[in-house]
Amino acid sequence: MFNETQLEAIDNVIQINLIKAGLDNVIFMDMAGNTIAKHDNGKSHLDSTAFAALAAGNFAAVDAMAKLVGESEFSLLFHKGEKSSIHFSKINDETLLITMFNKDISLGLVRLKVAETIKEINNILAND
């Protein structure tokens, strides 16, 4: 379980690194499909509860496929749409970071910002 200081710090990191960089939606969630933190740019109408359940299922299925082909994991999971895209990243064995962004933002920038964010979240979680 995360304490209040950790949750506060994670919210800040997501806001500064990702939402301010122009991403539409960010969900920090556990592998069981529970949302821990959700952030958006104020214009979103996403049903984040259902989204998190589906995202957990999707990630778990791909993870199981990786094991079947002898990979320990597929670390990058990315779905590209016409207007918006979704990027999945594993933070640790228990949690995932899902980011959604529109066509004005490049995948490269998202990957860079997500990598920074994951590093910072792991630092926050290490300071229990």
Partner 1 sequence: MALINVKTKEVQIKIVYYGPGRGGKTTNLEYINKKYRDQIKTEMVSLKTQDDRTLFFDFLPFDVGQIKGFDITIQLYTVPGQVKYNATRRLVLRGVDGIVFVADVQKEQRKKNIESLNQLYENLETYNLDLFKIPLAMQYNKIDLKQSDIPILSSQTMQKDLNGILRAPAFEASALKGGNVIQTLKKIISMTLGSIQDQLF
Q: Which residues bind partner 1 (CB under 8 A)?
A: 1-4, 7-8, 11, 30-36, 47, 49-50, 53-54, 56-57, 60-61, 64
CB nearer partner 1, residue 30 or residue 111: 30
CB nearer partner 1, residue 110 or residue 121: 121
User: Smallest distance from the beta carbon of 112 to partner 1, in angstroms?
Assistant: 27
DSSP the chain: ---HHHHHHHHHHHIIIIITTT-SEEEEEETTS-EEEEEE-S-----HHHHHHHHHHHHHHHHHHHHHTT-S----EEE--SSEEEEEEE-SSSEEEEEEEETTS-HHHHHHHHHHHHHHHHHHHH--
User: Smallest distance from the beta carbon of 59 to partner 1, in angstroms?
Assistant: 9
User: Smallest distance from the beta carbon of 81 to partner 1, in angstroms?
Assistant: 19
User: Smallest distance from the beta carbon of 94 to partner 1, in angstroms?
Assistant: 9
CB nearer partner 1, residue 27 or residue 110: 27
